[in-house]
Chains A and B, each alone.
Chain A
Amino acid sequence: MSSPCALLAWTFLTLLGLGVAQEDLTPCSPIVPRREWRALPSTCKQRLDLPVRCVVVSHTAGSPCDTPASCMRQVQNVQHYHVRTRGWCDVTYNFLIGEDGLVYEGRGWDIQGAHAGGGWNSKSIGISFMGNYMDRAPPQRALRAAQSLLACGVARGALSPNYEVKGHRDVQQTLSPGDQLYEIIQTWPHYRY
């Protein structure tokens, strides 16, 4: 094979390889949809400009739950508190993570959350672990669920491939996501202070 032809073949193979990598439609792991956890309808209108470059990790500082049944009740509780008591248009997070290892759909990928203050809300996805993680860490299955969710976000084009993870306390004055969980997320590859 003559050299220029081989080079041409290599170039095309390279482009093809890159093309395949980008258009790979990776299925996302199951997320418990709003209807399933019997969410109140959202009245939020503000959409997110996708892809976003940041993920803000918080904790609800409320009760944890470790079964699908109890977590379903807990997500409802969180939403009720946000909507009925605090008067927001919906639960403030884009996604919630239960200690049952499941991801619960909050505002989702397309609607702006209200989890971290004005500027950050419009540029980030907010995920919240259900529980209080000052003195204890979430179980491995919850952390795995969160990581899988973020990988899904990249695959869908909702998160930039080089997205950055921040703790809630990195962007606002708060204890969230709790000392233990904060220590864990600082070890995540996408974490940037």
Chain B
Amino acid sequence: MRKAKLWGLLGMLFVSELQAAAGQAEEKKILTEGETLNYHCVYTRKHSQSQKAWQRVMDGGKAETLAFTEKTSKNSQELGGRYFLEDNTTQGAVHVRMTNVQMSDSGLYRCVIYPILSNPEVLESLRLVVTKGPSDSPSPDKNPPRDKAQTTTFPPATKAPVTQPPPKSTAGVSRPGLEVNPTHVTDVTRISVFSIVIPVACALVTKSLVLTVLFAVTQKSFGS
């Protein structure tokens, strides 16, 4: 019995640690192929004189530096021409621009202080997800005009996942076919209703599950 209690406590600790780890700051942006990423890495004044770099973090933790700001100009060199950094030291933000994003660009990125130490000082992390756009390349006969009209309208609010707000457009990013204006307000209220109903439903289900288990367990122990 004592062993079971110990395992139970360990279990609780483990799960709460997972929760804490899940709370680590990581922004997420979803773009379609061909769009430009416009992202601001913010930093406090202690870093206003430092140079910054933009890195991509590979699976396994190894980071590749894509661009870094110059000492004097505060802008980045043009390494390959796709990544641009502009450090606005009075506003405390690095404007990161990645042009013509592709699905292969999906992954984890981060702003760090440059020169990069063995244990780098990370300013912000960004999870970029690049999705395939509406079919630009004409597929033979499989996409009649009606299908195209369907793909360009925003999916109904009731299907939107509760844990994730609908993708918002950032400054400078154009989203072809996004029809937001008339239905947006009602979408928002519908989502907020669901964000109450679903957690409550989950709570009820969890509680009834627990009661069932406890009931079964007590029955068994009284019966045996």
Mask: chain B, 26-70; 1 = CB below 8 Å from A; 0 = not: 000000000000001110111000000000000000000000000
* Given contact pairs A5-B220, A23-B200, A118 touches B1 in the complex (Cβ within 8 A): no
CB contacts (< 8 Å) of B8 on chain A: these are 6-7, 10-11, 13-14
Contact among B19, B41, B214 for A9, CB-based, below 8 A:
B214
Q: Is there an interface contact between B42 and A120, defined as CB atoms closer than 8 Å? A: yes
Q: Is there an interface contact between A117 and B93, defined as CB atoms closer than 8 Å? A: yes
Q: Verify if A81 is at the interface (C-beta below 8 Å from B).
A: no
What's the nearest-Cβ distance from chain B to residue A91, in Å?
Answer: 20
- The size of the chain B interface, using a CB distance under 8 A, is 42
Q: Verify if A69 is at the interface (C-beta below 8 Å from B).
A: no
Q: Is there an interface contact between A49 and B168, defined as CB atoms closer than 8 Å? A: yes
For chain B, residues 1 to 38, give those with C-beta under 8 angstroms from any C-beta of chain A. 1, 3-5, 7-9, 11-12, 15-16, 19, 23, 25
Identify the stretch in A34-42, A160-168, A177-185 within 8 Å (CB) of chain B at 4 or more residues: A160-168
Please measure, in the bound complex, the distance between the C-alpha atom of A3 and the C-alpha atom of B7, giving whole angstroms: 10
Q: Verify if A137 is at the interface (C-beta below 8 Å from B).
A: no
Q: Is there an interface contact between B23 and A162, defined as CB atoms closer than 8 Å? A: yes
Please measure, in the bound complex, the distance between the C-alpha atom of A7 and the C-alpha atom of B45, giving whole angstroms: 50
Please measure, in the bound complex, the distance between the C-alpha atom of A16 and the C-alpha atom of B42, giving whole angstroms: 37
CB contacts (< 8 Å) of A50 on chain B: these are 165
Identify the stretch in B74-82, B133-141, B204-212 within 8 Å (CB) of chain A at 4 or more residues: B204-212
Q: Verify if B73 is at the interface (C-beta below 8 Å from A).
A: no
Q: Is there an interface contact between A10 and B5, defined as CB atoms closer than 8 Å? A: yes
Contact among B91, B199, B213 for A119, CB-based, below 8 A:
B91
Q: Is there an interface contact between B203 and A3, defined as CB atoms closer than 8 Å? A: no
Contact among A20, A49, A54 for B165, CB-based, below 8 A:
A49
Please measure, in the bound complex, the distance between the C-alpha atom of A139 and the C-alpha atom of B4, giving whole angstroms: 51
- The size of the chain A interface, using a CB distance under 8 A, is 43
Q: Verify if B149 is at the interface (C-beta below 8 Å from A).
A: no
Please measure, in the bound complex, the distance between the C-alpha atom of A171 and the C-alpha atom of B46, giving whole angstroms: 9
CB contacts (< 8 Å) of A6 on chain B: these are 1, 4-5, 8, 217
CB contacts (< 8 Å) of A47 on chain B: these are 168
Residue of A nearest to B200 (CB): A23
For chain B, residues 71 to 106, give those with C-beta under 8 angstroms from any C-beta of chain A. 88, 90-95
Mask: chain A, 15-40; 1 = CB below 8 Å from B; 0 = not: 11111101100000000000000000
Please measure, in the bound complex, the distance between the C-alpha atom of A31 and the C-alpha atom of B9, giving whole angstroms: 40
CB contacts (< 8 Å) of A17 on chain B: these are 12
Contact among B4, B41, B168 for A7, CB-based, below 8 A:
B4
- B residues near A (Cβ < 8 Å) are 1, 3-5, 7-9, 11-12, 15-16, 19, 23, 25, 40-42, 44-46, 88, 90-95, 165, 168, 199-200, 202-203, 206-207, 209-210, 213-214, 217, 220-221
Task: Identify 8 new A-B residue pairs, CB closer than 8 A, beyond the known A120-B42, A120-B91.
Answer: A5-B221, A10-B7, A23-B202, A23-B203, A171-B92, A172-B90, A193-B44, A193-B46
A-B contact pairs, 20 of them (CB 8 A): A1-B217, A1-B220, A2-B220, A6-B1, A9-B214, A9-B217, A10-B4, A10-B11, A12-B209, A12-B210, A12-B213, A12-B214, A13-B8, A49-B165, A117-B90, A119-B93, A119-B95, A120-B93, A171-B44, A193-B46
